[in-house]
Amino acid sequence: MTDRSLILIADSIHSIGAGFLLSFPSILNPAILSPNATDIIATPQEASWINASFGFAGMLGFCVVPPIMQGLGRKFVHIMLNAVVALGFIIFFFANSVPALFVARSVQGLSAAGVTLTAMIIAEYSDPERRGYFMILKNMTVSLGSLVCHSLYFCWDWRQVAALSIVPYLISIILTFLWPESPSYYAMKGRYKECTQSFTYLFGDSPKSKKNLEHLISTQKERRQQMQMKKIDAFSRCIKTFGRRDFLKPIIVAFLLTIAVDACGRYYLLAYIIEMVIEITGDSSVAVYCSMASDLITIFASTLSIYIIRTYKRRTILFTSGFLTAFFMFLLSTVVYLKTAHGIGENLNWLTPTIIIFITFISSAGAIPLSFTILGEIFPLEHKGLGSFATGIIFTFLYATSMKSLPMMMASIGVGGTFGVFGTIMLVCLVLLLFTLNETKDKTLQEIEDEIKGIIRAKPELLIESKPLAAES
């Protein structure tokens, strides 16, 4: 097993658990809303609040977790995120009332920071050529977890699914204890000897690796010297950061990408796809099989995206798949409207699920994995904590809003109108990204940071000598 394989395996197992986490409402909601339920019974309003509590609690999580990541390191945070979600599933298993379900989902919401933070962590632990592949594998394993969760709908109750969901997180915790700490974290903290050891352990000591290590350390030494000269307290530095170009540009891109990912159905389809298809077709069996087909298609699309990522530039993939996704969302909206308002295609029960699967395929092959890859790349090292905090607040607010409002939207404007609204939102985000997103393919994190800051550095011609690089400044 290579050094980075252990990290990739641990995060992939974590992502399988994330698939259970995001899809669990699709198992829980039908059970607690059923009039024939013999366990906990909830009203539609209570069920929507349980789903939305994940996002609202996530806002608190994003206030706490990023500073911990910057202060205590990436390894500690990864262990903590796994432990929090596992605790939430334990509470689900023993819950005996609606408030207990609310508490369980809220506890899990504290881990919502993992959506963006784990992407940033994997970006730091991977080299530029493979970074995109690792993000794609992460997306595939989320879909694998979701597929297993949706498949268990027929044979297990929600308590049994909750118990099984604990397992991936426990395994991930054990494997994460074997990680080295991120060299980027050590460099940011001025611990250059440990940075050199960790970097060499992860990336080897080839001439290219030595050049990248030199670039990382020299940049962080320069940053720390500037901070010491200015002697600005942490709060003032945080306030000033919000006005800096090298923070504002990434946060705008992150804001637009987060909205686009949410609009294309990455999260609300996992939780509500069964209810949506039942409303359109009136057939629960079709709905469950559609959810399973959607998960399988996501895995296939993610596999295909490995070739796409290797061949095409980030912007090309994002905009091609993004605009196609928006087109199919408008098509679905039109088809549902014609069926409900004019009775056209009433007997074509397969048509709308097929379009939903097309939406899933196109977005999963391009827009979704690309968005998470870019989110892990675009923030300069000194802004990762604040950037992940701001991005996380956006994500959790949107997640909570969509989980809470989607049932009301389906009740008022129907599934067709709901997809029309989300398609419009996605289209607006893509148009704005045309003017704000830089190309990041095959660039080191330091090169991306320099481009955002407008810094042009002379490429070092000389390789690092055999003398120790880790001397403290």
Q: CB within 8 A of 419, min separation 6: which ones? A: 329, 330, 332, 333, 336
Instruction: Quote the pLDDT of residue 334.
Output: 92
Instruction: Quote the pLDDT of residue 211.
Output: 84
Residue 199, token pair as written in the block? 């970097």
Distance CA 282, CA 208 (A): 59
Instruction: Quote the pLDDT of residue 236.
Output: 64
Distance CA 144, CA 166 (A): 15
Q: Does some domain include residue 193?
A: no
Instruction: Quote the pLDDT of residue 119.
Output: 72
Q: Say which amino acid occupies 72.
A: L
Distance CA 375, CA 15 (A): 17
Instruction: Quote the pLDDT of residue 170.
Output: 95
Q: Does some domain include residue 471?
A: no
CB 106 within 8 A of CB 400: no
Per-residue pLDDT of the chain (473 residues), as tens digits, is 456 778 888 888 999 999 999 889 988 988 888 777 667 888 888 888 898 898 889 888 878 887 888 788 888 988 999 999 999 999 999 999 999 999 999 999 988 877 767 777 777 887 766 766 777 777 788 888 988 998 888 788 899 999 999 999 999 999 999 888 888 888 888 888 888 888 888 888 788 888 888 888 888 887 777 766 665 555 566 666 666 777 788 889 988 998 998 898 878 887 788 888 888 887 777 888 888 888 889 888 888 887 887 788 888 999 999 999 999 999 999 988 888 877 776 777 788 888 989 998 999 888 888 887 787 778 877 777 677 777 778 888 888 888 888 888 888 888 889 999 999 999 999 999 998 888 877 777 777 777 777 777 655 554 444 444 444 43
Number of structural domains found in the chain: 1
Q: In three state form, how does the secondary structure of 118-174 look?
A: HHHHHHHHCCHHHHHHHHHHHHHHHHHHHHHHHHHHHCCCHHHHHHHHHHHHHHHHH
Residue 32, token pair as written in the block? 């607690």
Q: What is the 8-class DSSP label of residue 382?
A: G
Is the alpha carbon torsion for 462, 466, 467, 473 positive or negative?
A: positive
Q: Does some domain include residue 309?
A: yes
Nearest to 168 by CA among 150, 153, 146: 146
Q: Does some domain include residue 303?
A: yes
Instruction: Quote the pLDDT of residue 320.
Output: 92
Q: Does some domain include residue 224?
A: no
Instruction: Quote the pLDDT of residue 201.
Output: 83
Q: Domain range spanning residue 378?
A: 3-180+246-453
- Please report which residue ranges of 34-127 form alpha helices under DSSP H: 44-72, 74-94, 98-109, 114-125
Instruction: Quote the pLDDT of residue 174.
Output: 93
Q: Does some domain include residue 397?
A: yes
Instruction: Quote the pLDDT of residue 237.
Output: 62
- CATH number of the domain enclosing 435: 1.20.1250.20
- Collapsing DSSP to helix, strand or coil, 464 comes out as coil
Neighbours of 261 (CB within 10 A): 25
Neighbours of 253 (CB within 10 A): 22
Q: Does some domain include residue 35?
A: yes
DSSP letter string over 79-94?
Answer: HHHHHHHHHHHHHHHH
Q: Does some domain include residue 316?
A: yes
